[in-house]
Chain A
Amino acid sequence: MFEWLTIFSGPVGDIATAVIAVIVGPIATFAFYMLLNWLVNLLPAKAGNILRPYVFIGPVLALIGSMLVYPTVGTVIAAFKNEDGSEWVGIRNFLKLFKDPNFGSTVFNNFEWVAIVPIVTVALGIMIATLTDRLGAVRERVFKSIIFMPMAISFVAASAIWRLTYSWTGGGQQEVGMLNAIVTAFGGQPVSWMQEDAGTLNNILIMVVVIWANAGFAMTLLSAAIKAVPEETVEAASIDGANAWQVFWRVILPQIRVTAVSVFITVLISTMKIFDVIWGMTGGNFHTNVLGVDFFLEYFVYNNEGKASAVVVILMLAIIPIMIYQVRTYRKQEELR
């Protein structure tokens, strides 16, 4: 009866699916909201007025509740169960993780990522925004576009691009990776960068990829903030004899602080749950594992649902303070409106 559904496999099916979804999806969605609205209008006026807001926000709350809140609770519960979720095991998953020396290295890597990537991204963003702001319009636009471009590239493609850059041939042959070509040009020995974990060098090289991808985002927001700094404040400071350096630290920086913090938080959150880049660069090998990758390995490679969930619970515990901070910031903003 449903055999006809197989027409949706294959390239023709892909196009058909997309076209149908694009046309039917919005119409069906709108009809659905119309129906809800109509049902609420059938109710007595008083009940209708109470329920009407939920015509607008109800579907989203239902989607978020069923696809985000309920599953997250489910993950917390699964963290206390065994491999396939059939038995309770108490805190055994967590004990196993903490006894595993590799997990220690995973957590350490996460700390390193969080300590380095957000701050460097914001600092680079401020630097590039400040420098390009001083240049002519054409140079500013061209430079910014080039630095912004990696944002449009997937982390998977970015991994491929940087694996070529970091590639290692060895054996006396010509190096095709740019980094090793530079090293050998200066008389050094080529290095297998992705396997080089001395001083967590491979970790730092993967961080470079993420900073490369995110700097444009930071630059764009910070550049808008810098342009919004009132000219008078800068002029007044110059007249009072402040040099460019002092103007930057004492006048501009305090006025872009809010933006800088929000960019920092944004990058911080994405860094904590980082997955694609490391998966593409090393697969988490050579001591480059992080929680986001460890979850994937535990679940899809080792088929251990309980342990995978325990990894996520640890990640969530780390994220809760940021969550509280976000809600508080929002409340403060609302009071100012």
Chain B
Amino acid sequence: MSRQVTFMTRLKAFKPGTTLVMLFVVAVWALPTVGLLVTAFRPQAASVESGWWTAIFDPMHQDWTLKAFSQVFNSDWNLGSGFMSTLAISIPATILPITFAAFAAYGFTFLEFRGREFWFSMIIALMVVPMQAAIVAVLKMFMAIDELLLMIPGNEYGDLHLSGEYPAAWIVHSAFAMPLAVYILRNYMMTLPHALIEAARIDGATHFQIFWRLIIPMSVPALASFAIFQFLWVWNDYFVAYMFAGNHPVMTYSILSMLGQHGEGWQLVMAGCLVSVLVPLTVFFGLQRYFVRGLTAGSVK
């Protein structure tokens, strides 16, 4: 009798009903991604003839293959080069905006000056401006810069240019990330002890020294979480990379072209997707703790 009671209590504490509901939700969430994983390793014929779930139910009688991966890396799709381009855009476009934003956040948090409220309100307002609003004019501006560069002696053929190259994407990504970066870092710096900074001032430290020796080391959690956020954003971006660094096709571009080629079968696209999500998923699961902490710290975008 008493054993039965403990069993019932423990079962109740386990919450089977809630667990079942959540298992269902999680299944719905995971299934499309499982489909990606399975399809990428199937031969072309199978991927167009039967659903990927049939392969799961009968895994021993499948012709599992890595052919799709060798296909996406061959000269037709050149995903290896796309991977490098994505990397070459993402890393600088993560580090640069954080460096700039940290300086500005320090200014907004620890320096008293006229117009501080005005400038900061403007940054808040700009957080919601859609990227589309600036695209046309920025593209034109970069073309005008290219025209100016042509006047440099020895650059008559325009070897030195901005449009379509990495720096163009770095600049645009940095500018668009800036309002949110400044906002999040400033919110974090507001929580740091002001007394400490004042003590350092009295001891004769300059703002530059305080920024570099005190504030940056203390802000590492916020800097890290924004870095993860920005890296995922830039890595997964299609819009900016396509429009500003078009000479270096990124992976999202290759995947969209693969999607356009219906005859190739699903395994090709899925292999491409799998390659493209490896890095963000590793970053994501490896640094999930910091990422979540950052999300919950500055929660407006």
**Residues of A that sit less than 8 Å from B by CB:** 1-3, 5-6, 8-11, 14-15, 17-18, 21-22, 25-26, 29-30, 33-34, 37, 50, 52-57, 59-61, 63-64, 66-75, 78, 85, 128, 131-132, 134-136, 139, 143, 145-157, 159-165, 167, 169, 173-178, 181, 212, 215, 217, 220-221, 224, 259, 262-263, 265-266, 269-270, 272-273, 275-276, 279-280, 292, 295-296, 299, 305, 308-309, 312, 315-316, 319, 322-323, 326-327, 330-331, 334, 337
Whether B276 is near chain A, meaning CB under 8 Å from some CB there, is yes
**CB pair B137 A72 closer than 8 Å:** yes
Q: Are A71 and B134 in contact (CB under 8 A)?
A: yes
- CB < 8 Å: which of A63, A73, A164 contacts B175? A63
Find chain B residues with CB under 8 A from A149 CB. Answer: 29-30, 33, 281, 284
Q: Verify if B141 is at the interface (C-beta below 8 Å from A).
A: yes
Majority secondary structure of chain A interface residues (helix, strand, loop or mixed): helix
Closest to A12 in B: B84
B124 near A60 with CB under 8 A, answer no
- A273: chain B residues within 8 A (beta carbon): 130-132
At the interface, yes or no: B163 with Cβ under 8 Å from chain A?
A: no
Q: List 10 A-B pairs, minimum CB-CB distance, nearest first.
A: A1-B154, A56-B107, A154-B236, A74-B137, A71-B137, A67-B175, A14-B84, A2-B159, A71-B134, A152-B284
Q: How far is the CB of B41 from chain A (nearest CB, A)?
A: 14
A330 and B153 CA atoms in complex are apart in Å by 50
**When the two chains form the complex, which single residue of B134, B135, B270 contacts A164, counting CB atoms closer than 8 Å?**
B270
Q: Cβ of A221: which chain B residues have Cβ within 8 Å of it?
A: 295-296, 299
Complex-state Cα separation, A69 to B133, whole angstroms: 9
Partner of A276, one of B53, B135, B238: B238
| Most B-side CB within 10 Å, residue of A11, A217, A322 | A11
Asked if A181 and B277 make an inter-chain contact with CB atoms under 8 angstroms apart, the answer reads no
**Residue numbers in A under 8 Å from B39 (CB-CB):** 164
Q: Which residues of B contact A212 (CB under 8 A)?
A: 29, 32
B residues near A (Cβ < 8 Å) are 14-15, 18-19, 21-22, 25-26, 29-33, 35-36, 39, 47-53, 80-81, 84-85, 87-88, 91-92, 95-96, 99-101, 103-104, 106-108, 111, 113, 116-117, 119-121, 123-138, 140-141, 153-155, 157, 159-160, 165-166, 170-172, 174-176, 178-179, 182, 190, 207-208, 211, 232, 235-239, 247-248, 252, 255-256, 258-259, 266, 269-270, 272-273, 276-277, 280-281, 283-285, 288, 292, 295-296, 299-301
B255 touching A266, Cβ below 8 Å: no
Contacts A21-B170, A139-B19, A150-B29 hold; do A262 and B299 have CB atoms under 8 A apart? yes
Nearest-neighbor residue (CB-CB) of A263 within chain B: B299
Give the distance to chain A from B54, nearest Cβ to Cβ, in Å.
8
Q: Which of A6, A34, A149 has the most CB of B within 10 A?
A: A149
Give Cα A25 to B248, complex, Å. Answer: 20
Partner of B121, one of A11, A52, A331: A331
B129 A33 Cβ-Cβ under 8 A: no
B130 touches A64 (CB 8 A): no
Contact, CB under 8 Å: A160 / B22: no
With A34-B208, A60-B182, A160-B273 as given contacts, are A220 and B92 in contact (CB-CB < 8 Å)? no
Contacts known (A71-B136, A161-B36); A17 close to B166, Cβ less than 8 A:
yes
Contact A266 B130 (CB under 8 A): no
Whether B88 and A163, one on each chain, are in contact in the complex, defined by CB atoms closer than 8 angstroms, is no
**Which residues in B have their C-beta under 8 angstroms from that of A34?**
208
A326 to B29, CA, bound (A): 32
Q: Quick one: which of A10, A22, A161, A169 has the most chain B CB within 10 A?
A: A161
B92 lies within 8 A of A21 (CB): yes
Is A1 a contact partner of B155 (Cβ separation < 8 A)?
yes
> Chain A contacts of B35 at CB under 8 A?
161, 164-165, 178
A37 CB, nearest partner CB in chain B, Å: 6
Q: Which of A72, A153, A176 contacts B266 (CB 8 A)?
A: A176
Which of the residues A26, A73, A154, A327 comes within 8 Å of B252, measured between beta carbons? Answer: A154
B100 x A29 contact (CB < 8 A) = yes
Contacts A53-B116, A178-B51 given; indicate if A72 touches B270 (C-beta within 8 A): no
- Cα(A21)–Cα(B165), bound, Å: 13
B35, B129, B153, B190: residue with the most chain A Cβ atoms closer than 10 Å = B129
